A and B are shown apart, each in its own frame.
Chain A
């Protein structure tokens, strides 16, 4: 097991290197220049040239053939990509071109916001999705099953921006129960420790902040949870239906075990393997795909930030955030793989 984990962790390095190369290359392939994007309508030739020089954008993207032709070997490697890799080795993600502040500094504040939202959404999706799937499977073709499956179909197909605005209209404008957006009310003071506001408010025993944070996260978390919730419900149902037809289930029933015990202890455990796989994939999708939810609920996470940075050609932000998401995605999938062994004793990673 330990050897397996070490092997998996080591395999992350070439994956990240390859990813760094691909992200770097694709960004340079799309037309548009960070300096021109930054200066907008006011751009003059002199300013564009100066900014390009200051951020090293006038250097060749990969290797400088002209320097090589002149016999300058050090210049040959003095390209944007090699400089970027050099910084990456030192765990320096660089500075934002537009903001001129370290990308890592902003990531440290924004990533927890996205993670908190994605984690809670996944939790909601699990808490609702798995039981709905079990009940649907155990009452196959019943009215309950029909309602649950139509409900999950609506969940999958409902546009998040529409659902988000509806939630806001109901809970913020008409009922005035919940705030319309943001992560914390501006009159709430909270000492930042981990930058996860729910955790920080608990760590500092700041109950007003905790209640305020919960109020803020509810609407976006439910909006973001709808799609994974529906997928998990459908997946659990179909996986449970397969398992329920197995011989050992019939045996368990024949032994006179209660339906609840058969479903939860015997069927669900086996049915969960594919569900866990889906959860792993959904976790990555939630982290990288919360752009719409973050936009509608003014959630200061990385989704909208990365999206805007792509449009502004702010290369260091896109590179840094994408790499972090990749790391999380790889970690989530490693956890999923390891959880197989916990769920199914037959699976061993030696």
Chain B
């Protein structure tokens, strides 16, 4: 008697759930759907209810899923990590360096004033769908990215990197035309010389997709149901959202077939669980280990640790609408009060390098002649006294009104409040446990008589919003990761528009620096540009515009039986030489 109603209830719940799922789904996504334009992948094969016979696999654990596999419309590293194996650009970066080298283009050569670049394309390359890679395919992709009225430039897709790296869309684009000289030669015409032209071409975002796949799938190109079709060493197989993405070796790859048959990226959000999966042998590689697991991995004979070259900078910024920070002496006092060595050692360990400039030492444009502000709390106190704060600094004064987006005054000129230290509220790829780092820095500052109140305005989205509006008053932490290994990508974003105070950059203003950076972008030749960026670094240092803290080399944990993994300084790491023994 009792079991009957209970059993019927459970049965009803199961049926109701199935019904609801069927109703809620619309077009449900099968877990193993084949890419629409993948002729080599027979749908019957993927649907067969049998255990597939696979060869060697390299399974990599990561914290989050990709957003899309269409590199033109994405900005997140986890998407490029996968798309970078499937698609290639005209150029790529020499492994482990920031030097652009030919990929789908054998070579690109400029004219005398660097306003025209002629690229010779690699012969005999085919997309994974069997169509030919040629000049028309290059033009097709560039026109899709550039022209907002192109049928495949969907308004809801954000071609952010094209706009950022090539100056804008339509007539705003620095690339004014891409023409086919012959089937395997394309000519780019630029509106003005652009020094990082090859570095830009080598960015993952400007990888060439199969025009046939783009046309066949429209806005669905890059989504889990479709994947992407390029010319790279691996072909898309399947994407089960929030679970895994599988690619298989492209036996016809022009650079030689990859050593491993399949690469699988598994989403394992929790860092400790990811490490346990590595220890259990369920995955063979991972990133973003907890500091404890990272330490353990270094002495574990079953594991090995590799490092990506550090191409990022963590910094402490001043809000220049704070009266006290308008005085260089106060800024210098802060600079001498932060014990960077101890911070890097305690919070980044083997993966941290103390920073003295915005541009990391691994990039050209780095200025090694700069002598960093040494940790000296006594000197800080002395500087504060000279600046008129003999008893130290614990309050800040708003120098000018700070408004919100609607024009309301958020912080009024003359307002005095406790000195704030804004810390990042979430882990980023360049920092783990930012609050603890902030606490340590705040303690350092206190030793020099600078008493700060730790503060964060909300979660990461809120923090970014406040930063954008210049409302992170006091000191604030943030970081930057490079995109193409060109020094303009580090300095230009921050300071090239500094003729006026930049809200996003804590209202910093340096017209002379802005002019120098704008000139450097147009100057052809690395030899000519390098001293310009070194000078820019010197200007930032002399002005104590910010305090550069750490460059993080991302540690990659691999099983001891993995060889051939190539960490990249820029772009996605290379997997085509990976061997799992």
Interface set of A (CB-CB < 8 Å, partner B): 30-34, 36-48, 50-51, 54-55, 95, 98-102, 104-112, 115, 119, 123, 161, 164-165, 168-169, 172-173, 176, 179-184, 186-192, 194-197, 199, 201, 204-206, 208-209, 264-265, 268-269, 272, 283, 294-298, 300-301, 304-305, 308, 311-313, 324, 327-328, 331-332, 335, 339, 342-343
Contact = CB atoms under 8 A, between A and B. Distances in A.
Contact of B461 (A115, A164, A176, A313): A313
B12 A335 contact: yes
Contacts of B181: none
Given A40-B75, A183-B243, 8 more contacts: A38-B75, A102-B26, A104-B24, A109-B28, A184-B243, A191-B49, A209-B49, A298-B277
B462 interface: yes
A41 B158 contact: no
Nearest to A42: B75
Contacts of A100: 68, 73, 156-157, 219
B52 A189 contact: yes
B462 A32 contact: yes
Contact of A111 (B24, B64, B460): B24
A96 to B, nearest CB: 9
Contact of B25 (A105, A187, A295): A105
Contacts of A331: 16, 20
Nearest to B12: A335
Contacts of A204: 49
Contact of B2 (A110, A192, A265): A265
A32 B458 CA distance: 9
Which 9 residue pairs spanning A and B have beta carbons closest together? A108-B25, A32-B461, A300-B242, A192-B30, A37-B461, A206-B49, A342-B5, A180-B277, A32-B462
B276 A180 contact: yes
B51 A208 contact: yes
A40 B464 contact: yes
B387 interface: no
Contacts of B10: 123
Nearest to B157: A100
13 contacts: A41-B479, A99-B67, A104-B25, A105-B25, A107-B24, A112-B17, A189-B32, A192-B31, A194-B18, A195-B21, A264-B2, A269-B1, A298-B268
Interface in B1-49: 1-2, 5, 8-10, 12-14, 16-18, 20-22, 24-33, 46-49
A43 B468 contact: yes
B315 to A, nearest CB: 11
Contacts of B481: 41
B279 A173 contact: yes
Given A188-B51, A205-B49, A343 B460 contact: no
Contacts of B212: none
Given A30-B458, A208-B51, A110 B241 contact: yes
A311 B24 CA distance: 24
Contact of B31 (A30, A107, A195, A298): A195
B163 A305 contact: no
A199 B18 contact: yes
Given A36-B468, A298-B267, A300-B242, A42 B29 contact: no
Nearest to A183: B243
B244 interface: yes
Contacts of A108: 21, 24-29
B523 interface: no
Contacts of A192: 28-33
Interface in B44-74: 46-52, 54, 57, 59, 64, 67-68, 73
A54 B158 CA distance: 9
A194 B459 contact: no
A102 B472 CA distance: 35
B534 to A, nearest CB: 24
B49 A54 contact: no
B21 A194 contact: yes
B255 interface: no
Contacts of A209: 49, 51
B480 interface: yes
Given A42-B493, A46-B163, A192-B31, A54 B156 contact: yes
Contact of B48 (A46, A189, A194): A189
Contacts of A268: 2
Contacts of A99: 67-68, 223
Given A99-B67, A192-B29, A112 B57 contact: no
A296 B269 CA distance: 7
Interface of B: 1-2, 5, 8-10, 12-14, 16-18, 20-22, 24-33, 46-52, 54, 57, 59, 64, 67-68, 73, 75, 155-158, 160, 163-164, 219, 223-224, 240-244, 246, 264, 266-270, 272-273, 276-277, 279-282, 426, 457-462, 464-466, 468, 478-481, 493, 504
B25 A37 contact: no
B158 A101 contact: no
A127 B80 CA distance: 46
A187 B68 CA distance: 23
Nearest to B237: A186
A55 B466 CA distance: 21
B266 A186 contact: yes
B273 to A, nearest CB: 5
A187 B57 contact: yes
Given A31-B457, A180-B276, A190 B268 contact: no
A32 B25 CA distance: 30
A36 B461 contact: yes
B20 A165 contact: no
A38 B51 CA distance: 39
Contact of A186 (B49, B223, B264): B264
Given A112-B21, A342-B5, A172 B270 contact: no
B461 to A, nearest CB: 3
A328 B14 CA distance: 12
A173 B73 CA distance: 39
Interface centre among A33, A34, A100 (most CB of B within 10 A): A100
B25 A182 contact: no
Nearest to B479: A41
A311 B464 CA distance: 12
Contacts of B269: 294-295, 298, 304
A112 B19 CA distance: 11
A269 B279 contact: no
Contacts of B241: 106, 109-110, 300
B356 to A, nearest CB: 21
Nearest to B428: A41
A186 B243 CA distance: 9
Contact of A37 (B8, B20, B464): B464
A107 B25 contact: yes
A87 B27 CA distance: 17
A99 B52 CA distance: 30
Interface centre among A181, A187, A342 (most CB of B within 10 A): A181
Contacts of B244: 182, 186
Contacts of A206: 49-50
Nearest to B49: A206
A165 B275 CA distance: 11
Contacts of A298: 243, 266-270, 273, 277
A45 B54 CA distance: 48
Nearest to B65: A300
B502 to A, nearest CB: 10
Contact of A195 (B5, B28, B158): B28
Nearest to A171: B280
B461 A180 contact: no
B22 A194 contact: yes
Contacts of A188: 51-52
A191 B34 CA distance: 11
Nearest to A199: B18
Contact of B158 (A50, A272, A300): A50
A332 B157 CA distance: 39
A55 B493 CA distance: 25
